[in-house]
Amino acid sequence: MHLLLNILQSPGQFFDTTPVGRILNRFSKDIDVIDAMIPQNIRGFLMCVFHVLGTCFVVGISTPFVLTVVLPLGIFYYLVQVSKSDLSSVLWLRVPFTLNVLSDLTWTGQSRIAFY
């Protein structure tokens, strides 16, 4: 995206001196990198997910007692993560206030705390 914006914002002299093929080559190289990397990343992600699910399935079949412990812990972990994300969004609302207070601290050992 940055490449496209830079090309569109370049002066007219750039287009007069640079062949169209060279400009298109830059875009095709970026697209080639995207086309090569996305399938590998998706494949790696799916392999990891299926390995984890397969391991959980085998452990659950061999020792069902583990599921009675793991499932409540998983639900608890999910609830903690959801509440943590809600809490962090509330804390980010207070960050400008905190930064304004901290910006008034001086390095001379004296501090002046101003509230805005």
- Token pair listed for 87: 């809490």
Average pLDDT, rounded, for the chain: 77
Model confidence, pTM: 0.46
What are the residue ranges spanned by the domains of the chain? 1-62, 64-116
Q: What is the pLDDT of residues 32-65, one digit of tens each?
A: 778 888 889 999 999 999 999 999 899 989 998 9
Residue 113, pLDDT score: 57
Q: Percent of the chain at pLDDT above 90?
A: 25
| CB 4, CB 10: distance < 8 Å | no
Phi, psi for 107 (deg, rounded to 5): -90, 0
Does 105 score more than 70 pLDDT? no
Can you tell me the mean pLDDT for 84-97? 59
Length, in residues, of the chain: 116
Q: Give the three-state DSSP class for 63.
A: coil
Q: Percent of the chain at pLDDT above 70?
A: 72
Residue 73, pLDDT score: 92
101-104: long-range pairs with CB below 8 Å, 24+: none
Distances (CA, A) of 99 to 108, 113, 115: 19, 11, 11
